Every structure is written in structure tokens, then in C-alpha cells.
A and B are shown apart, each in its own frame.
Chain A
Amino acid sequence: MGDPRLASRLKEARQAAGLTQAELAEKAGVSRKTVNTVENGVFIPSTILALSLARALDAKVEDLFWLAD
């Protein structure tokens, strides 16, 4: 349902940070369902949400999301 042009390693980055989906959701100010749908590619996050997730993981947005060639 998502856009195949968007690649993501949000799940890997979250697990590397030792966070559960609920913990990341709490830090980013969204629901666990939102994090889960982003990880599964169901939902493409807005710029604000992508920045929030990156900040919560202490990472850069381009480390979490990039355009698949």
C-alpha cells in the first residue's frame, strides 16, 4: 500500500537503539500503530514525523529513509 520508491531502515535503527515500538512512539509523540505502519511501509510519514522519528532515534532522516533506485 505504500510507495515502493521509499526505502526505510526504521525498524533496524529502532532495534539497534534497544527500543520497542511503543517506546519509540512515546518519544516521537505518536501512537505505536503509527510506528508499526511506517515500519511496514503501509504509511509514508510526513516530513515532520520523519524528523521526529529521527530525533527520537538520535539519527539523521536520510539514515532512516531514502529513495530506492
Chain B
Amino acid sequence: MTDQSSKRPRAPRIRLGSAVIAVMSFICAGVTLWMWHAGRLDTLDMSTELILCLVVGVTFGGLALTYTPGDIPDTGLIRKVTVKPSLSWQLVNNVFAGLLWTAWGTLQASRAFGDGDLIAGYSYASLVLGWLYVSPATLMGWAPQGKRLRDDPDRELNHAFRARATASGFWALLAGGAVAFLISFSAPDRVTYLLPLALWLGGSVACIHFVWLHHQADKDLGADG
């Protein structure tokens, strides 16, 4: 009676997904920082920058959808107009972003390895490997996810924690944007490279806060009585 996990459908691995997204965000930020430090971003042409902006936008548009703010009430009507479209958009976004990241990362990795630049090659390859995991995992786990989400005993708690995590991510994003804005006065050409970092910071903070809230709730469980 004390363990209901054996009786209920298994909850979606939302926390694991958040942790994976956070780690990948940090990898993306690291690669960008390294490219900036090495002066590689100055050599990008317009089409590459456009693809980069598209990829970043799609990725973080998906994060915004994943972390739907607000404690969504459990009513049929609201669930139909909020959660389900959101889930569908997450599917489209994750797969689309995965394809874009994979294609872009593969292209850059092949160029880097072709130039004999092993560090850059392995950095891009790490991005590709991450997304190669996410996209099939998303597709394979999607069909039963709607039912699992509806039956998830932690569903309401997840909504509440997501709202708080989203707020944290927003403030981190705002702080990062403010720093980028201030830097733009002294080095306007660097802002293009700082804004993706601010986006990654916001996404990472939201993911980490969500995982931390669950970790705290698990820690506070204590003895049942």
C-alpha cells in the first residue's frame, strides 16, 4: 500500500528529459564560447548564421512550450486547448530541432575534421550525438505519452513546479539579456554571440530549477504517517 508505483502507469521521465536538455544547453553554450574564444564565429557566413539563429529559435521555442507556465486546471475543455496542442508542438519541435541540429552539427563536424581541427570536430560531434539520442527517443516514446501524462500521479505537482522553473528561467534570461545589452555599448559586434548564451542560460536555469524542486520534494518526504 505504501508503494503506488507498481499499481499506476509509470510517470513520464520528465526530470530525466529536463536534465538532458540542461546538459545539452551547457554543451551548446560551451561550444559557442569556445568558438568565440577561438575567433571562429567571425568567419561564419550569413547563411550559416541564419541556420544557427533558426536552430536556436526552434530549440528554445520548444523549451518555452515544454515549460508551459501556470497551474493548468484538470478540466476537459482546458486540457483540450492547452496540454494536447502543446504536446503535439513539442513533438514537432523536438524532431525538427533534432534534425536541424544533427544536420548542422554533422556539416560543421565534417568541415572541422576535414580541416584537421579535432577539438572543433569533437565539439560538433557531441552535439550531433546528443540530438541523435533525443529525436528517436522522442518519436518512440510519444504515442503512449499522452495517456501516461494524464495518468501521472505527479501531474499537478509537475505543472506547479514548471511554473516556478519557468519564472526562474525568465529572470535568468532577463539578466543575461541585460548583460548583453550593456556589453553592446562597448562591443556591439559581440551581442550576436551573447544572445544565444543568454537563451541557453535561461533554458538551463529553468531545467535545473525544475529538477531541484523535485529533488527537494523527494528529500522532504520523510516517514509516512
Where the two chains meet, the residues of A that have a C-beta atom closer than 8 Å to any C-beta of B are 1, 15, 20-23, 25-26, 29-34, 36-37, 40, 42-49
B55-79: CB near A (< 8 Å → 1, else 0) gives 0000000000000000101110000
Contacts known (A31-B4, A34-B154); A49 close to B217, Cβ less than 8 A: no
Number of A-B residue pairs having CB atoms within 8 Å of each other in the complex: 69
Verify B157–A43 contact, CB threshold 8 A.
Answer: yes
- The answer to whether A34 and B225 touch (CB under 8 A), given A43-B160, A46-B71, is no
**Bound state CA distance, A42 and B7, in angstroms?**
26
Closest 8 CB pairs of A and B: A31-B153, A48-B74, A22-B2, A20-B224, A34-B157, A30-B153, A31-B154, A21-B224
Count of chain B residues with a beta carbon within 8 Å of a chain A beta carbon: 24
Q: A31-B4, A46-B71, A48-B73 are in contact. Are A25 and B217 (CB under 8 A)?
A: no
Residues 182-225 of B contacting A (Cβ, < 8 Å): 217-218, 220-222, 224-225
Q: Which B residues contact A (CB, under 8 angstroms)?
A: 1-4, 7, 11, 71, 73-75, 153-157, 160, 164, 217-218, 220-222, 224-225
19 CB contacts below 8 A, A to B, read A20-B2, A21-B224, A22-B1, A22-B224, A25-B4, A25-B153, A29-B153, A30-B155, A30-B156, A30-B157, A31-B11, A31-B157, A32-B224, A33-B217, A37-B157, A42-B217, A42-B220, A46-B71, A49-B74
User: In whole angstroms, what is the CA distance A49 to B154 when docked?
Assistant: 11
A46 close to B156 (CB less than 8 A): yes
Residue with the greatest number of chain A CB neighbours at <10 A, chosen from B1, B75, B153, B154: B153
B74 nearest in chain A by CB position: A48
A31–B157 alpha-carbon span in the complex (Å): 9
In the assembled complex, the CB of A20 is this many whole angstroms from the nearest CB of chain B, namely 5
